[in-house]
A and B are shown apart, each in its own frame.
Chain A
Amino acid sequence: NAGVTQTPKFRILKIGQSMTLQCTQDMNHNYMYWYRQDPGMGLKLIYYSVGAGITDKGEVPNGYNVSRSTTEDFPLRLELAAPSQTSVYFCASSEDSSYNEQFFGPGTRLTVL
């Protein structure tokens, strides 16, 4: 199993550009999550999904959108990039919620200039 994979690994955007961060898991997990981690800070939840077709906002959803059309994929969309969105983005998945390990992807390092 590849686990959780994310693409791209790195990206530089100009203000106002859009992009989609890809996330795929091959563990047949129902739960998937997007977090962002700013330098020296803890991870913050952006969006999450409890199954295909179901998504909900986390703590910091503004400026982002998600979709979950399949169990495997959970892309994160930035529509109008802003410097405040410069961060490392992690996707994670888990079989169930609570007391179940979340498996993280390797992250996407995004810089908005």
Chain B
Amino acid sequence: RKEVEQDPGPFNVPEGATVAFNCTYSNSASQSFFWYRQDCRKEPKLLMSVYSSGNEDGRFTAQLNRASQYISLLIRDSKLSDSATYLCVGDEALGRLYFGRGTQLTVWP
């Protein structure tokens, strides 16, 4: 069974803080992983793909540890606009995504 486990939060942090989200996955055969962002009552949007070597996109860093079946997302210098739910996502194959419940982040001034 394909599952992604995430701490639902909420995480409440001040502007400028660094915050880290983690998730674990159960399907060791999954090849691709992603972080999606979902604003309240909106559709999910891709934040970044996750690679074993680790990848960075501006203030965001994602990491995949296949041995531990563990995925992380680090957000540096948090902005008010980062407030959203962050979805940890695996790909079963053929683009069949399976989603975690999401981690809610609120950044306060």
Contact = CB atoms under 8 A, between A and B. Distances in A.
A25 to B, nearest CB: 13
B105 interface: no
Given A97-B94, A97-B95, A98-B91, A90 B101 contact: no
B93 interface: yes
Interface stretch (B39-47, B65-73, B75-83): B39-47
A107 B43 contact: yes
B99 interface: yes
B97 A102 contact: yes
Interface residues of A, number: 26
A15 interface: no
Contacts, number: 62
Interface in A36-53: 40-45, 48, 50
B49 interface: yes
A42 B99 contact: yes
B60 interface: no
A62 interface: no
Contacts of B95: 31, 33, 48, 94, 96-98, 100, 102
A101 B94 CA distance: 12
A45 B46 CA distance: 17
B81 to A, nearest CB: 19
Contacts of A101: 46
B16 to A, nearest CB: 29
* Residue from B43, B94, B98 with most neighbouring chain A CB atoms (10 Å): B43
Interface in A67-113: 90, 94, 96-102, 104-107
Given A99-B32, A104-B43, A106-B42, A50 B94 contact: yes
A55 to B, nearest CB: 12
A94 B91 CA distance: 13
A31 B94 contact: yes
Contacts of B97: 33, 35, 43, 45, 102
Interface of A: 31, 33, 35, 40-45, 48, 50, 58-59, 90, 94, 96-102, 104-107
